[in-house]
Structure 1
Amino acid sequence: MKKILLSGSNGRMGKVLQQLIAQDPELVIVAGIDRHPETASGFPVYQQPEEVKEEIDLVIDFSHYSVVPDLLNVCVERGWPIVVATTGLPKETNAMLAIAAKVIPVFYSANMSLGINVLIKALQAISPALAADFDIEIIEKHHNQKKDAPSGTALLLADKINEVLPEKKTYVYGRSGTENENPKNELGIHAVRGGTIPGEHTVLYAGPDEIIELTHTALSRDIFANGALKAANFLLKQPAGLYSMADLLK
Structure 2
Amino acid sequence: MKVILSGCNGKMGRVLVKLITQEKDIEIIAGIDINANKFKNPFPVYKNACECKEKADVIIDFSHHSALLEILKYSLDTKTPLVVATTGLSGEDLKNLTEASKQIPIFQTGNMSLGVNVLTDLAKKAATSLKDFDIEIIEKHHNEKVDAPSGTAYLIANSINEAFQNEKEFIYGRYGRSEKRKNKEIGIHAIRGGSIVGEHTVIFAGPDEIIEIKHTALSKDIFALGAIKAAKFLKSKQNGFYNMNDMLK
Supply the RMSD in Å over aligned alpha carbons: 1.0
Equivalent residue, structure 2, for 1:127: 127
Alignment-derived partner of residue 24 in structure 1: 23
Residue 192 (structure 1) aligns with: 191
**Residue segments in structure 1 that go unaligned for 5+ positions in a row:** none
Q: How many residues end up aligned between the 2 structures?
A: 248
| Structure 2 CA distance for partners of 1:141 and 1:237, relative to 1, 3 Å | same
- Unpaired segments of 5 or more residues in structure 2? none
1:239 is matched by which residue type in structure 2?
Q
In the alignment, which residue of structure 2 is the partner of 1:94? 94
Structure 1 stretches of 4+ moved >3 Å: none
Q: 1:221-236, aligned counterparts within 5 Å? A: 221-236=220-235
Question: CA offsets per residue over residues 186-206 of structure 1, 9 Å max, x none?
Answer: 111000000010100000011
Change (3 A) 1:167 1:86: closer
Bigger mean CA offset, 92-101 vs 135-144:
92-101
Looking at structure 1, the residues matched to 161 and 234 of structure 2 have their Cα atoms a distance apart, in angstroms, of 28
> Which residue number corresponds to residue 207 of structure 2?
208
Cα distance between partner residues in 2 of 1:166 and 1:4: 38
Counterpart Cα distance in 2 of 1:110 and 1:196: 20
> What is the CA-CA distance between 1:180 and the residue it aligns to?
2.4
- Matches of 2:171 and 2:211 in 1, distance apart? 20
Q: Distance in 2 between matches of 1:108 and 1:177?
A: 35
Aligned-pair CA distance for 1:169? 1.1
Which residue in 2 is equivalent to 1:80? 80
Percent identical: 52
Corresponding residue of 1:157? 156
Q: Name the CA distance, whole Å, in 1 between partners of 2:100 and 2:63.
A: 18
| Counterpart amino acid of residue 181 in structure 1 | K
| Number of the residue aligned with 1:111 | 111
Task: Kindly state the Cα deviation for residue 181 of structure 1 after the two structures are TM-superposed.
Answer: 1.0
Distance 1:90 1:126 in 2: 27
Letter of the 1:42 partner, please give it: P
Equivalent residue of 1:242, what SS?
Answer: strand
> 1:181 maps to what in 2?
180
- How far 1:10 moved relative to its partner? 0.4
TM-score, normalised by the number of residues in structure 1: 0.97
> How high is the TM-score relative to the length of structure 2?
0.97
Q: How far, CA to CA, are the matches of 2:166 and 2:146 in structure 1? A: 32
Q: Deviations over 1:137-174 (max 9, x none)?
A: 00000000000000010011000000011572111000
